[in-house]
Structures are given as C-alpha cells and as structure tokens.
Amino acid sequence: MVKPTRVANDIRKLRFANGEMTQADLADRLGVTRQTVIAIEQGRYSPSLEMAFQIAQVFDVPLDEVFRYADPQT
C-alpha cells in the first residue's frame, strides 16, 4: 500500500497568518479543489513542484518556509 508523503508543511499556519485565509480561498487561488488543499495540508498528497511554488507565491514566502522534507530516519 502506498504511504502518505514525507513532505511536511506549514500551510495551515500560513493561512491563519494571512488573514485567516480559508482552505476554499487558497484552493480558488491555486485553481484546485478544496479537497486537494486539505490533502496537502494533512500530508496525504505531495503537490507538484509547480503547485508548491504557487502556494509559496500566494503566501509571499520562500518555498522552504512552506514545505520541508522529513528526515527518512524518523
């Protein structure tokens, strides 16, 4: 069975820091469904590199302030 992604993120924190942006608002800005934003936030789906940059652009922060890769040893 496929395991959920090891890519962790701070999207939830960034949404609240950006005027309590809703998942639906973020989804609209990215052109994806709200379910996809939820899946990314919960680490159940790794976005493409392009979408990752788009997310960082929405929050106006560098990519590594949104995503980080969990240590494979942990």
Partner 1 sequence: MSFEEKGIWLYLVMAIVLPIVYVLWILGQTASVPIVEIDYQVPLLLSIGAAIGLSILGMIAIGIASPDDAGKADQRDKDINRLGEYVGGLVLAFGMIAPFGLAMVEMPQFWIANAMYAVFIVAAICGATVKLVLYRRGF
- Contact set with partner 1 (CB under 8 A): 1-5, 31-33, 35-36, 39, 42-45, 47-48, 51
Residue 60 C-beta: closest distance to partner 1, Å: 22
Q: How crowded is residue 53: how many other Cβ atoms within 10 Å of its Cβ?
A: 14
* Residue with smaller CB distance to partner 1, 12 or 17: 12
CB of 73 to partner 1, least distance (A): 21
| DSSP 3-state of 11 | helix
Question: For residue 47, how many other CB atoms are within 10 A of its CB?
Answer: 22
Q: What is the DSSP letter of 24?
A: H
